Amino acid sequence: MQSRKHTRGRTAASPLRRIRFFTILGLLIPLSLISVLIWAMAQIQPGPSPSGAAPAFPRDTPSLILAGEGQEASWQLRLVNSTHPLPGDWDPDLSVIDPITGEKFDSRALEYLRAMLDAMEREGLQPLVCSGYRSYESQEAIFQQNVETALCQGYTQEEAEEQAALWVMPPGCSEHQSGLAADIVSAENQNLDETQEDTPEQAWLHAHCQEYGFILRYPQDKTELTGVNYEPWHYRYVGEEAARDIMSQGLCLEEYAAPPTA
């Protein structure tokens, strides 16, 4: 009986089941294709980077993409040194870094500097920007002060200027005049000397500055190329892409940046 019922059941229901089967199949295939298409399109949409070891700030904020993109990409790579002085009428748009110190920085790069300092503070560090933008006049005053000191030590005028230039750029030639350089020290140790290198603030900056578009501008092994003694506290904004290249390859800006054409 069971066998007969089974047989009758199969013969009666089979065409109907086939219709149902092919109807469902006909619906499922396009639906699957649409789902796959939607998934594939979602994969190629620009979106935030996957969360990883690198800080989210510089990469995930579309408005902050600068290096290598568009006509404004080169401003942050401008080489400023004794052979590439800034024009006399250099007048960058500036913003105050910290109202307490009153130090200023190029407005276009300030948010990167702030992000870097904020990240340090979140880790319990105490960074202090003791010197940002300098006007031509203030750079001249600092340079002359160093020349005077050397003259008092018995150097001739020419020698005194050479000595001063080892530590302070002549007016027009300092990166601080560009508005893109910052001397960052530890609030616990504000001496601009070799002890700065031993602070946790410098250890952090040397390891992470490139993630925010900054480089250690005067490395220990590049004195001959930069013309400036090792300064573990002096950081220069160049944009994230250039900063990562420069720091990972152990270069200095003289080796990386082309001289400005304008």
Residues that bind Zn ion (CB under 5 A): 183, 234
Q: How far, in whole angstroms, is CA 145 from its chain's centroid?
A: 33
Closest by alpha carbon to 112, among 238, 226, 252, 257? 238
User: What is the C-alpha to C-alpha distance for residues 42 and 40, in angstroms, rounded to an integer?
Assistant: 5
| Shortest CB 131 distance to Zn ion, Å | 6
Structure token digits, residue 222: 């590049």
**Is 241 annotated in the active site?**
no
Decide whether 156 or 195 has the Cβ nearer to Zn ion. Answer: 195
| Shortest CB 60 distance to Zn ion, Å | 30
User: What is the C-alpha to C-alpha distance for residues 42 and 78, in angstroms, rounded to an integer?
Assistant: 39
**Residue in the shown chain whose Cβ atom is closest to Zn ion:** 234
Q: Could you report how far apart the first and last alpha carbons of the chain are, in Å?
A: 99
Decide whether 104 or 234 has the Cβ nearer to Zn ion. Answer: 234
| Shortest CB 36 distance to Zn ion, Å | 56
Decide whether 222 or 234 has the Cβ nearer to Zn ion. Answer: 234
Structure token digits, residue 66: 């600068």
Task: Produce one character per residue of 97-111: b if its CB has 16 or more CB atoms within 10 Å, e if not.
Answer: beeeeebbbbebbbb
The catalytic position among 231, 241, 254, 255 is: 231
User: What is the C-alpha to C-alpha distance for residues 256 and 262, in angstroms, rounded to an integer?
Assistant: 18
Decide whether 57 or 146 has the Cβ nearer to Zn ion. Answer: 146
Contacts of 199 (CB under 8 A, 6+ apart): 185, 186, 188, 189
Decide whether 167 or 256 has the Cβ nearer to Zn ion. Answer: 167
| Shortest CB 140 distance to Zn ion, Å | 16
| Shortest CB 260 distance to Zn ion, Å | 20
Are 122 and 164 contacting, i.e. CB atoms less than 8 angstroms apart?
A: no
Q: Which residues are catalytic?
A: 231
